[in-house]
Amino acid sequence: MTNKHVKVVLALSFITALLISSSFLTVLSATDPPENDYDDQNGDHGYYPGPVYPPEIPDPENMTRRIGHFDGETGYFVSLEGTEDGISNHALRTGREQFLTIFDEIFIEGFGKYKEEEFGYRYVLKGHAADIHVYDNPSISLVLNVGTIGSERLVSFKVGDFEVLQNGNEFVRIGHGDYTGSLISIEHGYSRSEPDIDDGFINFKVTDHTTFVFRLERKGFMDIRLSEFINDNMCQGRIGAEFRLETFQEYYFYMHVSYRDVNLATRMRDEKTLDIMVSSETLGEEGTILLLDISSTAMDISSAEDLKLDFNREKAALVDDYSDLEDSRGPAYMVITGEEGVRILFNVPHFSTHTITIVYIAEVSEHYLGSLLYYVPTAVFSAGIVLLGLMSYNKRVKKGKS
């Protein structure tokens, strides 16, 4: 074999080794996210690379996956009227011209409305005794904060098309057809007023600062154990905030709901990386649980193995059961998957300001695995040429000796 042949064999060997090593290194490095250069957020909407609102009301059959906004007194999902004593005709839009009344009236004694504001998907009525936050989303309807000044205050919910299904000490469940809703009272003091139900009126006597949360569920979109977990921890004040992400016509849409003094700022760093900044000025060592809802329109996640979650750039613990999440003393999360997307329950053990990074790794791995499979035939072909060259060289050596 001549020197020229040896050089060819060495060159082909080098190319083969380079292709194989580069392919594997690319796959191994694919799940490492870049450094978190967190940008300033834009108010309630967080960071968004496009318009805030979809251009038109979605088709009713697909409404369960859309975030809308208010247009006057009517939103994509919610309809209501503001009054001096609270709100009336609080309804869910079930079609373009069809509505299902949840509450005919929400009455707050001494409410004294003085201001109404719209923040995209959030509509706020402010009064001297309370403030009402109505969210234009099919799963979260309203958050009502009521204060007292050394006296008792009546808060009354008059049920509309719904009926009372269950009356507990801390929440009341109402339902109509495929829809069920939970009206939860969270008292921040030391006393709790039990609801009194009379002829469709759900009445509370508030003696402390109290937050009322109404959350709506639709059959098939939340399992019973998850619903019970949310209700129980909401009543105990352990759930601090909720977040939903989805896409519509290639734009990202974010929705933040705060149940306690928990602030969220979110952004999609790229198509596979979600950054969340969470903070609280009052919770301190108490910590909280976050409900993170990611639509399949944004990330098509099928299992917990598809995700990588970091808390302050360190890996958070993945748990398999609700009790493990409740008992966790460190950053931990649980993943519940479904056709509509994935729900992540995240335990924040204590507060200052933290960053949570969610990386969708399945699609990344599949992409680079495809690249690897592209290089493998080339590598095998190169190795075959090298092998044939060596076999030819051995034959020439043997022939020369003979």
pLDDT in tens, 89-143: 999 888 777 889 999 999 999 998 999 988 888 899 999 999 999 998 877 789 9
Q: Structural domain tally of the chain?
A: 2
pLDDT of residue 335: 94
- Main-chain dihedrals φ then ψ at residue 247, nearest 5 degrees: -120, 155
Q: Is residue 115 domain-shared with residue 212, that is, in the same domain? A: yes
CATH number at residue 184: 2.70.98.50
pLDDT of residue 221: 65
pLDDT in tens, 304-361: 889 999 999 999 999 999 999 999 989 999 999 877 788 999 999 999 899 999 999 8
Residue 183 lies in a domain: yes
Tokens describing residue 141: 């309807």
Q: Is residue 11 domain-shared with residue 123, that is, in the same domain? A: no
Residue 345 lies in a domain: no
Whole-prediction pTM value? Answer: 0.74
Comparing C-alpha atoms, which of 363, 299, 392, 328 is closest to residue 8?
392
DSSP 3-state of 342: strand
Q: Is residue 191 domain-shared with residue 105, that is, in the same domain? A: yes
DSSP 3-state of 100: strand
Distances (CA, A) of 132 to 118, 128, 167, 307, 401: 12, 11, 23, 36, 97
Q: Is residue 98 domain-shared with residue 198, that is, in the same domain? A: yes
Q: Is residue 20 domain-shared with residue 136, that is, in the same domain? A: no
pLDDT of residue 276: 95
Which of residues 221, 245, 262 is at a domain's end? 221
Residue 208 lies in a domain: yes
Place of tokens 């799963």: 139
**Cβ neighbours for 290, distance < 8 A, ≥ 6 positions apart:** 239, 240, 241, 242, 243, 262, 264, 278, 344, 345, 346, 348, 356
Domain residues for the domain of 217 are: 83-221
Q: Is residue 16 domain-shared with residue 143, that is, in the same domain? A: no
Q: Is residue 192 domain-shared with residue 125, that is, in the same domain? A: yes
* CA gap 211, 144 in Å, rounded: 6
Tokens describing residue 231: 């209700």
Residue 324 lies in a domain: no
Residue 239 lies in a domain: no
Q: Which residues of the chain have pLDDT under 70?
A: 1-66, 71-73, 148-150, 169, 187-193, 220-222, 362-402
Residue 387 lies in a domain: yes
Q: Is residue 141 domain-shared with residue 216, that is, in the same domain? A: yes
Q: Residue 92, Cβ neighbours under 10 Å: how many?
A: 24
Residue 261 lies in a domain: no
* Cβ atoms of residues 123 and 54 within 8 Å: no
Residue 373 lies in a domain: yes
pLDDT of residue 234: 87
Which of residues 192, 221, 250 is at a domain's end? 221
Residue 195 is given by DSSP the state P
Which of residues 202, 221, 240 is at a domain's end? 221
